[in-house]
Amino acid sequence: MRRELLRSASFVRAARRMVRKTPGAAEDLRATLELLSEDAFDPRLRTHKLKGPLATSWACSAGYDLRIVFALVEAEGKAAILLQTVGTHEEAY
């Protein structure tokens, strides 16, 4: 089931900052978002539930040290993914 990707303002800012800092990461990010939209639990994404203050969120890998934090939501009666932030392991968590 394909899910719509909803980009939060903080995700857009973090993605722009990341692409400026590491231009090569843009392709990894685009490919990961496509895969995430198709199947959020694809083993290649290494999707996992977060704990603590981010307990309502999930994270997936978009490269060696690149993480996407997201929440599974419903938008207009359909399953969707709210992209919350992107960055290195330290930046995202």
Domains of the chain, with CATH numbers?
Answer: 4-92 (3.30.2310.20)
Highest mean pLDDT among 34-38, 60-64, 75-79: 34-38
pLDDT score of 85: 96
Residue 1 has pLDDT above 80, yes or no: no
Is residue 16 pLDDT above 90, yes or no? yes
Q: What is the Cα–Cα distance from 59 to 78, expressed in whole angstroms?
A: 21
Q: What are 40-66's pLDDT values in tens digits?
A: 999 999 999 999 999 999 999 998 889
Global pTM value: 0.92
